[in-house]
Structure 1
Amino acid sequence: MNALQRAKRRVDAVRRNGAKAIDTGTDGGVHVQLLALVFLIVFPIVVAAAVSTKPQGIVTNLGDLLPGTHAVENYREALVDYGFGRFMWNSLLMSVIVVVGKLIISLLAAMAIVYYRVPYKNLVFLFILFTLMLPVPVRFVPLFRLISDLGWGNGLLAITVPYLASATTVFILRQHFLSIPSSVVETAKLDGVGPAKFMVHVLIPMSKGVLIGVSIIMFVYAWNQYLWPLVIIDSEANQVAQVGLSLLQGDVQGGQLSWSLVMAGSMLTLLPPLALMIAFRKPLLETFTIQQK
């Protein structure tokens, strides 16, 4: 029996050591893949940042990727001379309005679907999800006619009101509300808490992380809008940052495109959403994992 026990112990030790070796090898492979993906994502940003500091932004060899000496001049020219600061302000105003409006509408819709007896609410929710299957460009023609008939064209209402309804946000909030313990809801009902008070004092405090994460997602989505503002806005002064980049690309100096100016505008456009995603990365990750609860 002693010899048999020793043999079993040796087999178990070999298995544990083999598992550890496999795990170590697997972890090493995963780390290599992650580093490769990070490099592929970060490298274009590093190139854009380097090009934005050059006189013309022409890259012919690896030495041209070193930082230049025209950073202040290029960024000042983009912000002041070409009015890119105005474009960024329009995008910021549009994004904030869209985030606040979407948050209010989606919060009310998700709360009604989860906690209240609404006739055919499951059918309504399926219809909301069905809107995700419609490509955005399909809605441009009727939406353009509607905005024109209302007299909202070439203004802030034209680029904000069409984005206030969000099926994705309703879905995420609904999934989160379903994960809240039913005992909390029953206690609120027994205390006679009304809908508004229930939302303000129960749902919102228990959903701060998800609400922040959803807000970041909505902000990035609104900030990156290009096609609809290009279609509905005629005045250059009312355009957004993404369309402003194409205006920078349309400026040719001496028959040659100034890539340094374009890259300076690209870096300026990247900063607001990147700063928000870094500052609120934890709530953002919580939002992406909400479906697993």
Structure 2
Amino acid sequence: MQATLEDLGQLKRAFQIEVPLEEIKSTYDAVYQRLRNTRLNGFRPGKFPKGWLDKRFKIVMQQEVEDTVIPRYLNQALHDHELSAATQASIEALEFNRRSPLSAKLLFEVKPDLELPDYTKLKLERRTPEEITKEELDKEIEGLQQSRSRPVAKDNPVVEDGDLVRIDFEGTVDGEKFEDGTNENIVFIIGSDRHPELQPHLLGMRPEETKEVDVTLPEAFEEDAGKTAHYTLILNSVERMELPELDEAFFANWGVNTEEDFRE
């Protein structure tokens, strides 16, 4: 394997990796043999539609390259050039076939060289921590409860504030679909920051109910912001979010036994 390093400025680097055919051929052959053992409906063992093997080889081999081959050679190249990558490498170019060497161009960033100051000359100022108020602790505990809440079935399955909903929606502006205006089986909690433009119209709906509404699109829709969109909303399911009890099991998650211990 030959790896040529290119400095792209600042922390950006690139490796041009060339793997000779004799070095990569065993990997090619292993992938090709796996494909030859594939059985397709309607074909005898070892028989395939014309061109199927070569087409599938390109697809499967590319996945093999991305998952195992590139990481192996990248680690070797980093070691040889005494570099430490700060980001995961991306493949900018990749070329291979069963009868040719493999070549790839990998982009990544390296860790900066930092000069640490002489810590013995640093002056530290001791500060007394600010006292946490009861209201702040109450809010913290409430947030922890919500983070460990779980969805449960509702006796009366009508959408209310705080419920977890699963919906389909399709929106159009002047009869035309727009970016992010259509989705299926999207899940969010009423009262969260997800799709605030749709949430008021979901209140009171029941599962399998469909509703047609007009909505003014918020700033998140960028070029469509301010336009009136017509939505078809379908409620697939609704569940309520059940908060955990503030018991010993709950506070054990944070290394204490009781709420009193937590507040201390």
Bin for the TM-score computed over the shorter chain: under 0.3
Q: Relative contact order (alpha carbons < 8 A, sep ≥ 6): 1 or 2 greater?
A: 1
- TM-score, with structure 2 as normaliser: 0.23
Higher strand share: 2
Higher helix share: 1
Larger radius of gyration: 2
